[in-house]
């Protein structure tokens, strides 16, 4: 049995689905079902006794203590987080609560649980914390990619909250001996991605004939990681990672945002042509967001060297699968685009005049 937090979100639900497709080891899935958590992502597990879903808050210490005592997991895999930079700019409080206070609560609950385990179970226990490359700050055009020893230089409320959680995890290992592992991943994409992030937003807006908003000049560079490759990396780190270590997880796919948008448009032109013309006609440059980091790049050689992991997908294969998934699951997209989602899009993009 493992305990997964945030297992109804984008990366978490992909991990839970992948885990149970490959293993009979049960999962207790704790998720607060905020706007980005969606039970529908897990519909294929309905009635599966290996999946125990619990709606709840990681800041609820009594609930976390109860789940640990009742289910006795051999590991905690911690995905639960507020994760959207734009939302953190508009409302940083939720990010401090979930990402900092929530991680602290989980660490303390795990420490109490782990401390009471028999010796063999105690030795086998792991706490795996899933984090982001954004904690490292921004790179110049020719700077070497982020390694695990790169200094932390977070530039947004979101990345600052994740940096804080990373530091807590490290401190609980060095001070209390809690057997922790940390992964710092680059930009994920793939199925079940909530359509506020770049790739799904572009797909959804293009199909609706809406503008495709690109911040600034669109030359912000990110490394792109297909979500199922990320899940495979987490499995490897959980199984064989060295205690207390951090592992960067990247896709070896550095691309500027504008190139990503143009590639999505080209795939949609191929798979679902618009009689009105090429989707790229909808690209609209808008005012950049405050403090927008210019470039991220992940050096994932440590993970390859120590654990033999490399991504299975190229960007070309992964983005094709992603666009195809959204075309085949437009009912899912329609259901997650609630009134609250539309209000958020209006709030974030209102007043960003075309550049």
* 328 tagged catalytic: no
pTM exceeds 0.85 for this model: yes
For residue 209, pLDDT beyond 50: yes
* 313 tagged catalytic: no
Annotated active-site residue in 31, 82, 86, 134: 134
Q: Which residues, including other chains, have CB under 8 Å from residue 113's CB and lie 6 or more apart?
A: 65, 68, 69
For residue 297, pLDDT beyond 90: yes
- What is the structure's pLDDT at 335? 82
Six-digit token string for 166: 């990373």
Contact predicate 110/173, CB 8 Å? no
Annotated active-site residue in 57, 82, 86, 158: 158
For residue 129, pLDDT beyond 80: yes
Contact predicate 222/186, CB 8 Å? yes
For residue 194, pLDDT beyond 90: no
Annotated active-site residue in 31, 133, 223, 313: 133
For residue 340, pLDDT beyond 90: no
Q: What are phi and psi of 27, to 5 degrees?
A: -125, 130
Q: What average pLDDT score do residues 134-150 get?
A: 96
- What is the structure's pLDDT at 257? 97
- What is the structure's pLDDT at 344? 41
Integer-rounded Cα radius of gyration of the chain: 20
As a whole number of angstroms, the distance between CA 158 and CA 141 comes to: 23
Burial of 223 (0-12, 13-18, 19+ CB in 10 A): buried
Six-digit token string for 151: 């200094």
As a whole number of angstroms, the distance between CA 86 and CA 116 comes to: 41
The one-character DSSP state at 41 is G
As a whole number of angstroms, the distance between CA 245 and CA 149 comes to: 11
At the topology level, CATH places domain 2-189+226-251+296-312 in Rossmann fold (3.40.50)
- Count CA atoms within 13 Å of residue 160 on its CB side: 12
Contact predicate 223/254, CB 8 Å? yes
Q: What average pLDDT score do residues 108-130 get?
A: 98
Task: Tell me the pLDDT tens digit for each residue of 310-320.
Answer: 999 999 999 99
For residue 343, pLDDT beyond 90: no
Mean pLDDT score of the chain: 93
- The domain limits of the chain are 2-189+226-251+296-312
As a whole number of angstroms, the distance between CA 217 and CA 226 comes to: 25
Confidence category of residue 108, pLDDT binned at 50, 70, 90:
very high
Measured distance between the N- and C-terminal CA atoms of the chain, rounded to whole angstroms: 52
* 133 tagged catalytic: yes
Task: Tell me the pLDDT tens digit for each residue of 253-269.
Answer: 999 999 999 999 999 99
Q: What are phi and psi of 77, to 5 degrees?
A: -115, 115
Region of residue 70 (left: phi > 0; alpha: psi -120 to 50; beta: else): alpha
For residue 307, pLDDT beyond 50: yes
- The pLDDT > 70 percentage for the chain reads 94
Confidence category of residue 83, pLDDT binned at 50, 70, 90:
confident
């Amino acid at each position: 049995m493992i305990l997964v937090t945030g297992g109804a979100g984008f990366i978490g639900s992909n991990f839970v689905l992948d885990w149970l497709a490959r293993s009979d080891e049960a999962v207790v899935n704790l998720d607060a079902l905020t706007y980005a958590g969606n039970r529908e992502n897990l519909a294929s597990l309905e009635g599966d006794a290996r999946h125990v879903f619990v709606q709840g808050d990681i800041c609820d210490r009594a609930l976390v203590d109860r789940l640990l005592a009742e289910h006795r997991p051999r590991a905690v895999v911690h995905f639960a987080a507020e994760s959207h930079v734009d939302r953190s700019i508009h409302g940083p409080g939720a990010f401090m609560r979930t990402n900092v206070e929530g991680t602290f609560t989980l660490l303390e609950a795990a420490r109490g649980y782990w401390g009471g385990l028999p010796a063999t179970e105690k030795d086998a226990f792991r706490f795996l914390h899933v984090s982001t490359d954004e904690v490292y700050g921004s790179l110049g055009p020719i700077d070497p990619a982020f390694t695990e020893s790169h200094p932390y230089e977070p530039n947004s409320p979101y990345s600052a909250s994740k940096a804080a959680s990373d530091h807590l995890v490290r401190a609980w290992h060095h001070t209390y001996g809690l057997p922790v592992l940390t992964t710092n991943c680059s930009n994920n994409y793939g199925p079940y991605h909530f359509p506020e992030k770049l790739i799904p937003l572009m797909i959804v807006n293009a199909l609706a004939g809406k503008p495709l908003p690109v911040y600034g000049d669109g030359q912000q560079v990110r490394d792109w990681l297909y979500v199922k490759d990320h899940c495979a990396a987490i499995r490897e780190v959980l199984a064989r990672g060295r205690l207390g270590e951090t592992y960067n997880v990247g896709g070896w796919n550095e691309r500027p945002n504008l190139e990503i948008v143009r590639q999505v448009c080209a795939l949609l032109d191929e798979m679902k042509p618009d009689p009105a013309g090429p989707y790229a006609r909808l690209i609209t440059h808008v005012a950049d967001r405050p403090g927008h980091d210019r470039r991220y790049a992940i050096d994932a050689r440590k993970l390859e060297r120590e654990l033999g992991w490399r991504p299975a997908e190229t960007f070309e294969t992964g983005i094709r699968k992603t666009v195809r998934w959204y075309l085949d699951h437009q009912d899912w997209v329609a259901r997650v685009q609630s009134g609250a989602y539309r209000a958020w899009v209006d709030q974030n993009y209102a007043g960003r005049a075309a550049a």
